[in-house]
Amino acid sequence: MLTEDLLELQRVDTTLDQLAHRRARLPEVDAATAAAAALQQAERRRTELSTRNDEFDASIERLEHDGEALAAQKVRLEAQLKTVIAPREAEALMHELDTLSSRRDALDDEELALLDEQSTLAEEVTVLEQRLPGLRAGADEARAALASAEAAVDDEVAGLGATRETIIGRIDAGLLGRYEQLRARFGGVAVAALEGSRCGGCHLDLSTTELAEVRAVPAGQLAECPQCGRLLVP
């Protein structure tokens, strides 16, 4: 019967709406999102540490180069000091040698500080490297679980889709168009059953007169809820 087909179509469409809602809010979605975020954060941190380590290497290399230049300059000055006779010139060379020594000490201190920081960084890298395989495995497992859950919902949707095609094949195109318009208007529920004296769509009671009018609709025709306008099946 037409009324039974419409009610069944509404039941199928309501279930499809619920499945779409459920699919978008599967607990596996949150789990997969969290696992992916944790992996991404760890990998981003690993990249940051690698970049920082490269910066340390460059800075240490620069300091060593500067230290070698100071050492060479010191050797040259010491050789020059051995050849001078004038006290003032010797004093000037000694002062310059002291300055070089101070600069070299400062470079050494800076290099030691960088090496210490680099050592701390290397420890963090080691911890990250140990965590990353587990994070990658966890992300893969979460994605697989999500895909499985989505596939289960999709199978239900596919089955209901086939049922829906069978039902709409028995419904007039004009009535089907009206049904779709009402679904869009009423948030997905276009057809409701009369439950006693109450519309199953808006859940409002019909007056005695309204109830009589709905029940007087000839078989094969459709009534409308006088309260909300949905198609109403007695």
Compute the average pLDDT of residues 60-76: 93
CA distance 231 to 170: 17
Cite the beta strand spans of 9-84 per DSSP E: none
Which amino acid appears at position 21 of this protein? H
Compute the average pLDDT of residues 99-104: 92
pLDDT tens digits, 113-157? 999 999 999 999 999 999 999 999 999 999 999 999 999 999 999
pLDDT confidence of residue 156:
96
pLDDT confidence of residue 44:
96
In the DSSP assignment, the letter for residue 169 is T
* Residue 213 pLDDT level (bands cut at 50, 70, 90): confident
pLDDT tens digits, 1-50? 678 898 999 999 999 999 999 999 999 999 999 999 999 999 999 999 99
Compute the average pLDDT of residues 181-198: 91
Three-state DSSP state, 219:
coil
Indicate the burial class of 221 (C-beta count within 10 angstroms; 0-12, 13-18, 19 or more). Answer: exposed
Task: Tell if the pTM clears 0.85, that is, is over it.
Answer: no
Boundaries of every domain in the chain? 26-151, 173-233
Q: Which residue has the tokens 């060593």?
A: 64
Residues 26-151, CATH architecture: Orthogonal Bundle (1.10)
pLDDT tens digits, 6-18? 899 999 999 999 9
CA distance 70 to 72: 5
Region of poorest pLDDT, from 140-149, 153-162, 167-176: 167-176
pLDDT confidence of residue 1:
67
Residue pair 102/96 in contact (Cβ under 8 Å)? The answer is no
